[in-house]
Amino acid sequence: MLIEYGAGFLRKLPPEAAHRATLALVGLSAPFLGQACPDDPRLALNALGLHFPNPVGLAAGFDKDARVPDAMLNQGFGFVECGTVTPLPQPGNPRPRLFRLESDLAVINRMGFNNAGARRVARRLAARAHRGILGINIGANKDSVDRIADYRAAFAMLAPFADYVSINVSSPNTPGLRALQGREELARLLGLLESERASRNLRTPLLLKISPDLELQELDVITDVASAYGIDGLIVSNTTVARPDYLTSAYAGEAGGLSGAPLFDRSTRLLSETRARVAGRLTLIGVGGISSGATAYAKIRAGASLLQLYTALALQGPSLIGRIKKELLALLSADGFSNITEAIGSDISA
């Protein structure tokens, strides 16, 4: 496929230029792609009131403005999440703001919710022929005087076109945003969104994307509030501001959120802790450092029903998607599971 053949060239470009070129290549190849090959039924599952052909999803950040969701579904993803989208367009933080840590299999970004705004994205989605599961990740404008109202506005504009909406209160790149994970502010935010959803008679599932840098008492607050306000699931997790001391890249000291391999252990521990608190009540999406079938399977066994990746896709190319699914099937078979659902949370319940 065009994106696969161009991967070597793209990695020679500066990271943000490579990302723009990738989106252009995906868009150019989209008309020539047929439907994705059917997945093995052992990977299919029901979650959030939806049927997923496989649990491997594309994380928010790749396609902020919902330009190529169907083309990415045709790469073999079970679902795609676009965004983060804010009510008003914004350019994001000054460049450079995206850094490859190739020796560490990681990326640091401080993009700052650069996007075209909810109205433009809504127009694009309204013209979309529905071909697979699409999530929309929403956020607040950096200069907003009422960030909670921003989430309500973005939800109102985008929820009618989404299979689920995720609420990004955990990006480290918008100053003060993570304060919305505190009890009082989070309750106000989730209460307002639940009210908006009910008033519009929408059944769109709501998910909350949380930080990997939470203390356990902060996780207790989030899971309590999320359960109390009817949130359907949690995405565990966003990027981290922590910097492991084993990083070797020259860019390791750059400000922003770290993703990729160094995030795997931290995010998976948080996933296990979250599963222990919400098992049976909330759907969990595991994100952070997934780069193989083994790392994907570890997230499933730690309690994730669904998975998302992005950094490894940028570093390895789209053939990674098929490899992960093939390796997942082998691991399920080796452990005697007949389908992916049986493996969810098996490390917690063991």
Write phi, then psi, for 100 (nearest 5 degrees): -85, 130
Q: Is 170 a catalytic residue?
A: no
Structure tokens belonging to residue 288: 């952070």
With CA atoms as reference, report the closest residue to 32 among 6, 9, 58, 1: 1
Give the 3-state DSSP-derived string for the chain, with helices as H, strands as E and coil as C.
CHHHHCHHHHCCCCHHHHHHHHHHHHHHHHHHCCCCCCCCHHHCEEECCEEECCCEEECCCCCCCCCCHHHHHCCCCCEEEEEEECCCCECCCCCCCEEEEHHHCEEEECCCCCECCHHHHHHHHHCCCCCCEEEEEECCCCCCCCHHHHHHHHHHHHHHHCCEEEEECCCCCCCCHHHHHCHHHHHHHHHHHHHHHHHCCCCCCEEEEECCCCCHHHHHHHHHHHHHCCCCEEEECCCECCCCCCCCCCCCCCCCEEEEHHHHHHHHHHHHHHHHHHCCCCEEEEECCCCCHHHHHHHHHCCCCEEEECHHHHHHCCHHHHHHHHHHHHHHHHCCCCCHHHHCCHHHHC
Helix 183-199 to helix 147-158 angle, to the nearest 10 degrees? 30
Q: Map tokens 């307002």 to a residue.
A: 192
Catalytic residue among 171, 211, 272, 305: 171
- The rounded distance, in Å, linking the Cα atoms of 171 and 20 is 21
CB neighbours of residue 156 within 10 Å: 18
Helix 293-301 to helix 264-278 angle, to the nearest 10 degrees? 30
- Just list the catalytic residues: 171
